[in-house]
Structure 1
């Protein structure tokens, strides 16, 4: 009888699939743009479904557009063990973010099936709809729907070209009116384990391939609008100006300082001026703020402090201010039982056990509302992510996938309904 501990994934097959998916949405600069539910991402979905079918999995799409590949277990009534991630990207992103978790999940289930490893619980690999939130300003849409957190108001969100989420879902063959039916019960999924690149430099500094996440930062996204008065750049004296950009400059420094004081992180990812001409004092500035922290209370305190600081700055300059929270997710803690299993899997693969906090958000955040979660992180070269230079070596991807393999095997062997 085959010893499950001796099994390894087919690293060449995994790398080939990563390269193939990386060509979908690729540009001449080496970046990949597969925004959620665009033609490029839909083409990527077809590729993922074909891989699932080739792996011998039962393939279906749920009401939220999540793609699910199932490897049936011996106990059809037992809660399943799930893995997965996403294939949508940021603009000019990299080939590993999200994609590694989906493709490694397929490879792991394929290996288990090929090697005839018996397992009581069914195994699922899930390719979630719109994790990044780039196109419509709200992320984790598919995993939120699965975990019971869907909000029909999201259907009215629009992308940069004026298309609503409702419209693009219809175009993709997803019925907007039934998305909430993708929700699953806590009794249906025993555990969710995600494999993802680190998107940071911690593992590289340690010289190790794989890390075990103990927690994932929560986030709060804000859209800030500062309004003043647009005037001629030459005829308006400095003392008569109502320039929202100078106030914004002070606000950005305040945001940075508040993040440092609270032990969190804050990022201004977008900034737009109107009317946006070289010889016109802007009348309006709109920018985004991405706040993150591993503790829910401190994340809230950071948001409150920033709102107060921004308000005080515009009042001093007699400007108007609007702050809208566009998206948020609480910090989550990994399951101790799953972390213990991940540690055992690291030992099987002769890898050190390194525990760390994950600063990037993943579908595991939403799935934590539904079941116990675990997160495996794979080393990122120079910590670069959301960029064409994003890179994880074939050896590191293989190491992470093998940790996932042995974790899923152990979690699925016994049903214990």
Structure 2
């Protein structure tokens, strides 16, 4: 790698410091948990507001609670479409420090360096701290980015949290107006592109010794819940060939999903929930439930796998003489990253003297919700600890933060709207 720019080093260190400070805003002692519009979440929003203002941005909040900072363009360019960046500042329960948060504080730290140097660009830069992405409190995801993109579903305002508080009530209690969310949508004409910086949440960059990578697409996902009904019986008296075992049918389906989704790179399948309902050690299971999650960079690969899995479910049900009800719970198409932005990120990585690695994102991100507004791109940053994420052992190095700051800075400095 080439010698690093001092401003990028300073930005990387600042981003890591801010990530540590954000992690102090938690609802649970001894772990990081920060859910949508709780007092802790509001305190984190206030911290982001302060840092944005100190970095030369003009800050506003919309009615979903997004924290939005605008770094104004050079004189005469104020009305041009903005380069938009950002990520989310809510977390899962017992989270890591960098998922989401890095994509806010790292671009902000870069802007702080430009502000100190008096540097402006031929376009504005908007940094968004999306208020909600994870869906923990109200079981609805990407609320912040869907608000900006104009795809927020008002039906979720009636969703209740664990204490029976509706999302509508929580928004009002935070001093915001749920009726104003529809009016907070941005015009596509105001957005030149959206670029999200994010930890990889996986081991590929770590295993290949690379600090950053260029995301090719955010994988589409199909999710289902299934219920298997067989016939319960005594574990000691029902012969094996006469059993209608719901659990073994579910297990066979799980093994097929593993085989089918293992035949092509980028295609993954998971049975994350598998439950024997009212099971007992001495009873042949009569009822089981399970989940299916199938994802792929290419929608055609995902949909073909889904079709094959559903066909196999029918065959297994017929052979084992059980009934299987499958209900779809989620469907999201793949979101490709813009080729010209991928190329720009690749040039910035090469300029830093590093090898370029292209890879898909198997996880969903705010960038996928922002796609209706225009071109999107993502820069992945290496995770430590085997690539673990959504976990307190999630980590990354200050050196990698500095490298990411240099790559992001070069992207912005060379950006053409």
Aligned residue pair count:
408
**Higher mean Cα deviation, 132-141 or 393-402?**
132-141
Task: Give the deviation of 1:248 after TM superposition.
Answer: 1.6
Q: Does 1:383 align with 2:359?
A: no
Note closer, same or farther for the CA distance 1:45–1:294 as it changes in structure 2 (3 Å cut).
same
Residues 139-218 of structure 1: pairs in structure 2 closer than 5 A: 139-159=141-161, 163-218=165-220
Q: Is the 8 A contact 1:212 1:377 kept in 2?
A: yes
CA–CA separation in structure 2 for the residues paired with 1:37 and 1:227: 41
Note if 1:304 corresponds to 2:307. Answer: yes
Moved more, 249-258 or 281-290: 281-290
SS class of match (2:294): strand
Asked if the contact 2:222–2:331 (Cα under 8 Å) also holds between the matched residues in 1, the reply is yes
- Which residues of 2 match residues 1-400 of structure 1 at below 5 A? 7-8=7-8, 9-25=10-26, 31-74=31-74, 75-159=77-161, 163-228=165-230, 243-261=245-263, 263=265, 264-275=267-278, 284-381=287-384, 382-400=386-404
State the SS of the aligned residue for 1:36: coil
Question: How far apart are residue 120 of structure 1 and its match?
Answer: 2.2
User: Structure 2 regions of 5+ residues with no counterpart?
Assistant: none
Query: What is the CA deviation profile of residues 265-286 of structure 1, one whole-angstrom value per residue up to 9, with x for unaligned ones?
Result: 0122334443466677666433
Q: Is the 8 A contact 1:195 1:401 kept in 2?
A: no
Deviation at residue 174 of structure 1 after TM alignment: 4.2
Out of 291-300 and 273-282, give the one that drifted further.
273-282
Cα distance, 1:10 vs structure 2: 3.0
Cα 1:304/1:152, change in 2 over 3 Å:
farther
Per-residue CA distance 1:292-326 (angstroms, 9 max, x = gap): 10101121222222222224333444444333332
2:261 counterpart SS class? helix
TM-score, L = length of structure 1: 0.86
Unaligned runs of 5+ in 1: none
Shift of 1:163: 4.9
What TM-score results when the alignment is normalised by the length of structure 2? 0.86
Q: In 1, are the aligned partners of 2:37 and 2:65 still within 8 Å (CA)?
A: no
Residue equivalent to 2:408: 404
SS of corresponding position for 1:10: helix
Q: Which moved more, 1:137-146 or 1:287-296?
A: 137-146
Q: Deviations over 1:159-188 (max 9, x none)?
A: 556554444444444433443333222111
What secondary structure is seen at the aligned counterpart in 1 of 2:326?
Answer: strand
Q: Is contact 2:11-2:106 (8 Å) kept?
A: no
Bigger shift: residues 112-121 or 46-55: 46-55
Give me the CA root mean square deviation. Answer: 2.9
Q: Which moved more, 1:329-338 or 1:129-138?
A: 129-138
Identify which range, 232-241 or 319-328, moves more after superposition: 232-241
> Structure 2: how far apart are the matches of 1:230 and 1:33?
41
1:241 offset after TM fit, Å? Answer: 6.4
Secondary structure of residue in 1 paired with 2:293: strand
CA contact (8 A) 1:262 1:302 kept: no
Shift of 1:26: 7.3
